[in-house]
Homo-oligomer: A and B are copies of this chain.
Amino acid sequence: MSRRLTPRGEQRRGELLAYATERFATNGYHPTSVAELVDGLGVGKGVFYWYFESKEDLFLEILRTGERDLRRVQQEAMGEETDPLARMELAIRASMEWWVEHRELYVLIEFARTEASFAPGVRKGEKVALEDTRRLVQEAMDSGTIADGDASVVAQAVLGVSSILARTQLLAQGRPAREVADEVIDFCWHGLVGAPVGEAGARRSA
């Protein structure tokens, strides 16, 4: 849309984004109508189309800002750390904290991947996340910290474990971010058979 907004307008836009995020996440994108959104906020329909070009535009906006914010948080968390595995751990921990605060986004991204009109955007975002991770894995392989292999596949596996434990442990079971992050790292670092699998899933080596 790219419209100049006054502070008041900015706030309305924020209300729409927040409410739509919640409705889309709990009811689904398609079953949630624009009418439902404006009624829920007690405003006229024109308000919606003042701030967004279309329902699809709104959804893309939610997706884009979410992905951007997560990446920002991860980069910030890694800070000045130079060791690749340590960087990865920091990013994973930060991600878990982030998901707790943005739980609705999980299901929205999952949905977006299943629809032809949104999938390309999601894939682009995931490509970035994969590349970020792949680079760290490759570095760790080069320095001999972890065994050689296909860095891309390994990175994908790490993302998979993070993703599924975020969904099932963090979001569904409501377990603390800290604990879940411990478990992600524990499993990714040592697997099932490998060395020190801490009983509480909390001890790591690196």
Residues of A that sit less than 8 Å from B by CB: 26-28, 30-31, 85, 107-108, 110-111, 113-116, 137, 140, 145-150, 153-154, 156-161, 163-165, 168-169, 183-184, 186-199, 201, 205-206
Contacting pair A28 B165 (CB below 8 A): no
Q: In the complex where A153-B165, A164-B163 touch, is A195 in contact with B194 (Cβ < 8 A)?
A: yes
Residue among B107, B197, B205 making CB contact with A148, cutoff 8 Å: B197
Contacting pair B187 A154 (CB below 8 A): yes
Chain B residues with CB under 8 A of A165: 153, 156-157, 160
Residue among B157, B158, B197, B206 making CB contact with A183, cutoff 8 Å: B157
Taking the nearest CB of chain B, how far is it from the CB of A122, in angstroms?
A: 11
Chain B residues with CB under 8 A of A195: 193-195
Contacting pair B187 A206 (CB below 8 A): no
Taking the nearest CB of chain B, how far is it from the CB of A130, in angstroms?
A: 8
Chain B residues with CB under 8 A of A157: 161, 164-165, 183-184, 187
